[in-house]
């Protein structure tokens, strides 16, 4: 990849002296050195003993906020890197091996439906034992929790990309005899990148939502508060400090703005070239940070080195020659391996079932199970009702905005930002309100579930309405289609596929949010709404392992079933009937 | 030319397994030799297996039976000396022109200076100088296909495979590229020894090839081999060029010699319920009937002439002409399309009368349509699921062909008002929506 760039540069030998450093070099230098210093400082803190955390407890003094914000961000980025690693391996394995895929893909679907908090409560003890007595163990647990909120949708997106690589591109790679390693880096990863970056952004937003839960860990007797924005907020809630909440919101806004500008904007602008289908007239995404990286010789040098390294790896990895590959393919029907694999899966399923039975049946009464199912129904009703309510509000607004390009340009980024903003920051305010006005928590806690997820409905509908072909709109105007008829026959069918996509995302997010949203505390006041979410949250606080498993299992089951029975058929129906191509 | 061949295919056969355990034969009895200095054309319509054969030669798939050998050695997987140019270019959108061209050499782990030298030479040769740092999306279709050529040539292949390389380009661009390619080829400036060109364009085949293998379908097989001895550069308006084009049209529409059952099937594909029906709309066949009925053809049209008049390639024209033949509205013979009496009557009739004529022919000559109608008549509810007929069709053909066939018969049935079809619940019925 590096060849053209380097050849052009080489042809002007004293180019480097002519201008010692461009202004982009200066900016790049500051940014890079700043990052290195920050990473070093943060890493140093990992190895201090756990007891140290008690000596220097979280302080609500805003002067500490920059450090807290930095450490939280670092945790999230580490989790993102882990998710990336997971994606590139797990999804590739699932896509390449038919045998493995049969099992790995449904597994991913299940993992996706397990509420994130569930992972924390189950894994924290394990991670703490990895580095006993050190902060590192708690950090592991926290990062793993954030990882579980980021990884699944990224893996899914990459898996889908791998399965939809255009036939001719794949044949071209074969016919020029790219080794599997080279094929992976030159064809498969680039092809999957655009979708992957989009999912990374969604994952990052998802991660913020659980930052409080993942930093201020409290499962049974284990209580750890890692320095970070999440712990800061937890403490502010405990001390009923509204001002501190305000500071935290400010810090988070700033952090979100920063990584949006420094990380995601450049990424989005950069991956634009990896799109295979190029629709003309679509605005090319811009980013000042990417411009900086492209113009700065310092960063270009780094890029060249990296590219040479990638090329070097594709040379270093030994390649099987065609004859050997063919010989291997000749023994194709690996029946025995198939059987072995099947046996492994069956064994895993039996073992899993046995465990579930052992845990749930022996320790919980049928009555309890029935009760939990009832709670799940309550939560389900809440989710559907709220999605319906949000749709009533946002679909008309979204259509209105989407049909006006000017308005869409203003509203769309705001909607996306709102989706990235962790809505749980507003929870304390809501609790404050509910307590002061003595409102019914069963009703008034519910809106919190959809606070962060409703935006997916809005910005998908906006996208759908802007994609409505102008000619269709002219035609309906021409024939005098107006009012309710216009909504029924033109606008609503036109945006339906987009709306369904948004509603699916919102629904999944709301289920996840239920655990945080059905129970809320403010100082010593705890208010609770009856539902599966608060059941799991209660069980987590109590450290009741069996109830946690029961609650989480029920929630996963409900989410998977609702997806299979309701959302998926609806999605395919909308795609088939209403997708304008 | 009496040296050993670059490439040899012997009795090659390709079949795909079907879900019910049977197999779908797509290619049979393929014998082919490519010698140095030759351009061999594989000419046929879509579904005749010519692209399948090209992919077998490229080592992208394996034959079910028979032998393929390159320079005397059997082909297992993509061979080093065989490179391919794709119909839709298949460039990597994230790589520049230079990087796209260099990729094949990177895969061979050549030394960097050598890669650079050879890539620049290939780019230069194919007329892409100055475009090295452009991304494919910045290029026109013609320039993109030039990158496709440069990328194939840079690996110095002995055999160049071309899969309809000009069919995604507009007429003018395609002509320029063809001429440039032929110039380079006849001047011997390309590092290749032999070429195999897949095409469905008869004139293109005559213009470029030394030998043309005409393919037939169901299953794909070679109908005849035609040697082209005209000197290069060839002129489309040259009478002997026209004569050759005409001859190939005749070959492609000829009744097969002998009374081979397979051949009969192809002549009248409507003979069995299991024939694949082409997706030809009622507008298309009505339009062709009208065009043939009108002057200057007056009921009998010379295929090359009407193809160029209507600007249709054989891939578009033949399915329509054959549909007319299947419905007994026309006869295809000796490179001519001749309307039957009913065809002429159809041309004269008004819309309602046309529908009546068409209904009669549809139910008489298309067994699948008759079958659907019979099932609907016999049932008390006068309704039947689509899946029922799909299942029946899949005994004879693959899933895609079954879908295509059923969708053709739905369209025709709607035009004839023989039955109704509701896509929402995938049901055939006898009621017409009010």
pLDDT digits (tens, 9 = 90+) for A187-219: 899 888 888 887 888 788 777 777 777 887 766
Give the separation between CA A411 and CA A403, rounded to whole angstroms: 12
Q: To the nearest whole angstrom, how far is the Cα of B108 from the nearest Cα of chain A? A: 8
From the list B78, B80, B94, the residue facing A274 with the nearest CB is B94
Tell me whether A7 touches chain B (CB under 8 Å): yes
In a shared domain, residues A83 and A205: yes
In whole angstroms, how far apart are CA A57 and each of A52, A68, A214, A232? 8, 12, 17, 10
Listed residue (A114, A175, A180) closest to A149, CA to CA: A114
Contact yes or no for A441/A434 (Cβ under 8 A): yes
Is residue A343 a part of any domain in this protein? no
B106 and A7 in contact by Cβ < 8 A? no
Q: Given this model, what pLDDT does residue B210 score? A: 92
Residues A5-30, mean pLDDT to the nearest whole number? 49
In a shared domain, residues B204 and B291: no
**A322 contacts in chain B (CB < 8 Å):** 59, 76-79
In a shared domain, residues B177 and B325: no
Winning range, highest mean pLDDT, from A270-274, B25-29, B354-358: B354-358
A278 and B76 in contact by Cβ < 8 A? no
**B135 contacts in chain A (CB < 8 Å):** 273
In a shared domain, residues B205 and B330: no
Q: Which burial class, exposed, middle or buried, applies to B57 when counting CB atoms under 10 A from its CB (0-12, 13-18, 19+)?
A: buried
Domain boundary among A254, A277, A300: A277
Is residue B192 a part of any domain in this protein? yes
Domain boundary among A251, A277, A303: A277
Q: Who has greater pLDDT, A468 or B256? A: A468
Is residue A327 a part of any domain in this protein? no
Q: In this model, does residue B268 exceed pLDDT 50?
A: no
In a shared domain, residues B336 and B406: yes
Q: Given this model, what pLDDT does residue B264 score? A: 39
Q: Who has greater pLDDT, A375 or B308? A: A375
Task: Name the DSSP letter for residue A256.
Answer: H
Q: Given this model, what pLDDT does residue B85 score? A: 92
Q: To the nearest whole angstrom, how far is the Cα of B181 from the nearest Cα of chain A? A: 21
Q: Given this model, what pLDDT does residue A22 score? A: 62
Q: In this model, does residue A26 exceed pLDDT 50?
A: yes
Give the separation between CA A245 and CA B263, rounded to whole angstroms: 83
Query: Tens digits of per-residue pLDDT, A411-421?
Result: 877 776 777 67
Is residue B39 a part of any domain in this protein? yes
Give the separation between CA B76 and CA A385, rounded to whole angstroms: 60
In this prediction, residue A294 has a pLDDT band, given cuts at 50, 70 and 90, of low
B103 and A190 in contact by Cβ < 8 A? no
As a whole-number percent, the residues of chain A with pLDDT over 70 amount to 77
Q: Given this model, what pLDDT does residue A86 score? A: 93
What is the chain A residue with the closest CA to B132? Answer: A4
Is residue A243 a part of any domain in this protein? yes
In a shared domain, residues B235 and B130: yes
A322 and B151 in contact by Cβ < 8 A? no
- Give the residue carrying structure tokens 């749930």: A360
Tokens for A413, please give them.
């980024």
Total structural domains within chain A: 2
In a shared domain, residues B234 and B322: no
Q: In this model, does residue B131 exceed pLDDT 70?
A: yes
User: Which of A166, A176, A274, A308 should be substituted to probe chain B, the one whose Cβ sees the most B Cβ atoms within 10 Å?
Assistant: A176
Is residue A103 a part of any domain in this protein? yes
Q: In this model, does residue B162 exceed pLDDT 90?
A: yes
In a shared domain, residues B246 and B287: no
Q: Given this model, what pLDDT does residue A272 score? A: 76
Q: In this model, does residue A533 exceed pLDDT 50?
A: yes
Q: Given this model, what pLDDT does residue A20 score? A: 53
CATH number of the domain that residue A264 is part of:
1.10.3720.10
Query: Tens digits of per-residue pLDDT, A332-372?
Result: 555 566 677 777 777 877 777 777 677 666 777 778 888 98
Helix, strand, coil shares, percent, chain A, to 5: 80, 5, 15
Tell me whether B113 touches chain A (CB under 8 Å): no
Checking DSSP bridges between strand B330-333 and strand B194-199, what pairing results, if any? unpaired
Is residue A181 a part of any domain in this protein? yes
Q: Given this model, what pLDDT does residue A25 score? A: 66
Q: In this model, does residue B221 exceed pLDDT 60?
A: yes
Q: Provide the domain limits for residue B356.
A: 282-429
Q: Given this model, what pLDDT does residue A385 score? A: 93
Give the separation between CA B330 and CA B313, rounded to whole angstroms: 19
Q: Given this model, what pLDDT does residue A88 score? A: 92
Residues B410-427, mean pLDDT to the nearest whole number? 88
Secondary structure (DSSP) of A266-301: HHHHHHGGG-SS--TTPPPP--HHHHHHHH-HHHHH
Q: Provide the domain limits for residue A175.
A: 49-277
Query: Tens digits of per-residue pLDDT, B76-89?
Result: 888 888 999 998 88
Q: Given this model, what pLDDT does residue A68 score? A: 87
**Using only C-alpha atoms, what is the Rg of chain A?**
26
Is residue B348 a part of any domain in this protein? yes
Q: 5-64 in B: which are within 8 Å (CB) of A? A: 55, 58-60
Q: Given this model, what pLDDT does residue A322 score? A: 52
A325 and B108 in contact by Cβ < 8 A? no
From the list B77, B88, B107, the residue facing A326 with the nearest CB is B77
Write out A296-360 in H/E/C secondary structure. Answer: CHHHHHHHHHHHHHHHHHHHHCCCCCHHHHHHHHHCCCCHHHHHHHHHHHHHHHHHHHHHHHHHH
* Angle in degrees, 0-180, between the axes of helices B341-348 and B351-365, rounded to the nearest 10: 150
**Length of chain A, please?**
581
Residue A282: count of CB within 10 angstroms of its CB? 9
Q: Given this model, what pLDDT does residue A267 score? A: 82
Domain boundary among A246, A277, A308: A277
In a shared domain, residues B208 and B293: no
Is residue B130 a part of any domain in this protein? yes
**B403 contacts in chain A (CB < 8 Å):** none
Helices (H) and strands (E) in chain A, counts: 33, 4
In whole angstroms, how far apart are CA B85 and each of A471, B161, B163? 38, 6, 6
Kindly report which listed range (A286-290, B161-165, B406-410) carries the lowest average pLDDT score: A286-290
Is residue B147 a part of any domain in this protein? yes
Q: Is B195 helix (H, G, I), strand (E, B) or coil?
A: strand
In this prediction, residue B267 has a pLDDT band, given cuts at 50, 70 and 90, of very low
Secondary structure (DSSP) of A172-221: HHHHTT--HHHHIIIIIHHHHHHHHHHHHHHHHHHHHHTHHHHHEEEETT
In a shared domain, residues B249 and B102: yes
Kindly provide the ipTM of the predicted complex, given to two decimals.
0.76
CATH number of the domain that residue B213 is part of:
3.40.50.300
Q: 146-175 in A: which are within 8 Å (CB) of B? A: 166, 168-169, 171-172, 174-175
Is residue B102 a part of any domain in this protein? yes
Is residue B12 a part of any domain in this protein? yes
Q: Who has greater pLDDT, A304 or A193? A: A193
B106 and A182 in contact by Cβ < 8 A? yes
A3 and B55 in contact by Cβ < 8 A? no
Q: Who has greater pLDDT, A567 or A581? A: A567
In this prediction, residue A388 has a pLDDT band, given cuts at 50, 70 and 90, of very high
**A169 contacts in chain B (CB < 8 Å):** 90, 92
Q: In this model, does residue B146 exceed pLDDT 90?
A: yes
Total structural domains within chain B: 2
Is residue B271 a part of any domain in this protein? no
Tokens for A343, please give them.
């046996």
A168 and B88 in contact by Cβ < 8 A? yes
In a shared domain, residues B357 and B288: yes
- Give the residue carrying structure tokens 């199970």: A369
């Amino acid at each position: 990849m590096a060849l053209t760039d380097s050849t052009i540069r080489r042809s002007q030998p004293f180019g480097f002296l002519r201008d010692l450093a461009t202004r982009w070099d200066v900016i790049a230098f500051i940014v890079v050195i700043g990052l290195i210093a920050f990473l070093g400082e943060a890493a140093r803190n990992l190895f201090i003993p756990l007891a140290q955390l008690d000596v220097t407890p979280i302080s609500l003094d805003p002067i500490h906020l920059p450090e807290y914000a930095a450490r939280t961000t670092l945790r999230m980025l580490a989790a993102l890197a882990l998710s990336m690693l997971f994606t590139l391996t797990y999804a590739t394995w699932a896509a390449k091996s038919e045998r493995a895929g049969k099992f790995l893909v449904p597994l991913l679907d299940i993992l996706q439906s397990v509420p994130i908090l569930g992972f924390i409560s189950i894994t924290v003890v394990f991670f703490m034992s990895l580095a006993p007595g050190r902060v590192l163990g708690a950090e592991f647990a926290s990062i793993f929790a954030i990882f579980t909120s980021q990884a699944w949708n990224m893996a899914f997106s990459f898996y889908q990309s791998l399965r939809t690589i255009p036939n001719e591109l794949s044949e071209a790679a074969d016919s020029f005899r790219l080794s599997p390693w080279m094929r992976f880096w030159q064809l498969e990863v680039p092809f999957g990148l655009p979708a992957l970056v989009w999912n990374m952004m969604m994952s990052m937003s998802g991660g913020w939502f659980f930052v409080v839960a993942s930093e201020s860990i409290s499962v049974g007797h284990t209580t750890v508060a890692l320095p970070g924005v999440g712990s800061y907020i937890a403490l502010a809630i405990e001390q009923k400090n509204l001002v501190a909440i305000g500071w935290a919101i400010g810090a988070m806004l700033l952090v979100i703005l920063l990584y949006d500008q420094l990380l995601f904007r450049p990424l989005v602008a950069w991956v634009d070239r990896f799109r295979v289908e190029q629709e003309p007239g679509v605005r090319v995404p811009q980013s000042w940070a990417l411009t900086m990286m492209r113009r700065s010789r310092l960063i270009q040098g780094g890029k060249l080195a990296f590219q040479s390294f990638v090329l070097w790896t594709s040379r270093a990895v030994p390649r099987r020659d065609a004859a050997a590959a063919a010989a291997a393919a000749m023994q194709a029907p690996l029946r025995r391996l198939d059987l072995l694999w099947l046996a492994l899966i069956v064994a895993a399923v039996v073992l899993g079932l046995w465990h579930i039975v052992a845990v749930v049946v022996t320790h919980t009464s049928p009555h309890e199970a029935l009760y939990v199912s009832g709670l799940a129904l309550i939560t389900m009703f809440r989710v559907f009702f709220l999605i319906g309510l949000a749709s009533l509000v946002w679909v008309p607004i979204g259509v209105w905005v989407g049909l006006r390009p000017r308005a869409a340009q203003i509203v769309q980024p705001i909607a996306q930002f709102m989706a990235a903003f962790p809505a749980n920051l507003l929870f304390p305010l809501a609790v404050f309100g509910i307590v002061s006005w003595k409102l019914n928590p069963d009703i008034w806690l519910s809106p919190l579930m959809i606070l962060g997820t409703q935006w997916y409905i809005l910005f998908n509908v906006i996208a759908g309405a802007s994609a409505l072909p102008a000619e269709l709109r002219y035609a309906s105007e021409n024939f005098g289609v107006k009012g309710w008829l216009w909504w029924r026959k033109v606008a609503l069918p036109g945006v339906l596929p987009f709306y369904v996509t948004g509603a699916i995302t919102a629904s999944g997010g709301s289920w996840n949010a239920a655990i945080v949203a059905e129970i809320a505390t403010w100082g010593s006041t705890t208010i609770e709404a009856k539902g599966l979410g608060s059941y799991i949250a209660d069980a987590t606080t109590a450290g009741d392992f069996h109830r946690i498993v029961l609650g989480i299992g029920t929630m996963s089951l409900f989410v998977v079933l609702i997806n299979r029975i309701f959302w998926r058929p609806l999605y395919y129906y909308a795609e088939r009937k209403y997708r304008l191509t | 030319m009496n040296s050993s061949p670059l490439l040899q295919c012997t009795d090659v056969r390709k079949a795909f397994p079907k879900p019910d355990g049977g197999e779908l034969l797509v290619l049979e009895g393929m014998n082919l030799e490519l010698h140095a200095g030759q351009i061999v054309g594989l000419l046929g319509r879509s579904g005749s297996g010519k692209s399948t054969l090209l992919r077998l030669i490229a080592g992208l798939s394996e034959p079910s039976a028979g032998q393929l050998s390159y320079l005397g050695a059997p082909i297992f997987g993509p061979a080093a000396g065989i490179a391919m140019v794709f119909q839709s270019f298949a460039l990597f959108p994230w790589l520049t022109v230079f990087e796209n061209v260099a990729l094949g050499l990177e895969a061979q782990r050549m030394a960097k200076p050598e890669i650079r030298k050879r890539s620049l030479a290939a780019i230069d040769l194919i007329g892409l100088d100055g475009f090295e740092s452009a991304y494919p999306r910045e290029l026109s279709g013609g320039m993109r296909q030039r990158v496709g050529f440069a990328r194939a040539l840079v690996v110095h292949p002995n055999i160049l495979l071309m899969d309809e390389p000009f069919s995604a380009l507009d007429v003018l661009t395609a002509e320029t590229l063809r001429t440039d390619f032929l110039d380079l080829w006849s001047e011997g400036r390309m590092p290749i020894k032999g070429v195999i060109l897949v095409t469905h364009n008869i004139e293109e085949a005559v213009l470029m090839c030394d030998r043309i293998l005409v393919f037939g379908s169901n299953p794909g097989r070679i109908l005849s081999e035609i040697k082209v001895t005209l000197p290069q550069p060839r002129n489309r308006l040259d009478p002997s060029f026209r004569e050759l084009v005409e001859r190939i049209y005749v070959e492609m529409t000829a009744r097969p010699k002998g009374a081979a059952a397979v051949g009969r099937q192809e002549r009248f594909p409507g003979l069995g319920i299991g024939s694949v029906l082409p997706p030809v709309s009622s507008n298309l066949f009505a339009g062709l009937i009208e065009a043939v009925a009108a002057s200057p053809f007056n009921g009998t049209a010379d295929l090359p002439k009407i193809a160029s008049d209507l600007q249709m390639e054989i891939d578009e024209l033949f399915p329509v002409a054959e549909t007319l033949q299947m419905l007994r509205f026309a006869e295809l013979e000796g490179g001519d399309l001749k309307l039957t009496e009913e065809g002429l009557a159809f041309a004269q009739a008004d819309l309602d009368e046309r529908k009546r004529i068409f209904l009669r022919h549809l139910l008489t000559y298309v067994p699948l349509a008759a079958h659907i109608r019979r099932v609907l008549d016999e049932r008390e509810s006068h309704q039947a699921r689509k899946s029922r007929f799909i299942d029946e069709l899949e005994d004879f053909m693959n899933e895609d062909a079954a879908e295509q066939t059923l969708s053709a018969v739905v369209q025709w049935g709607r035009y004839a008002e023989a039955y109704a079809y509701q896509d929402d619940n995938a049901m055939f019925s006898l009621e017409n929506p009010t």
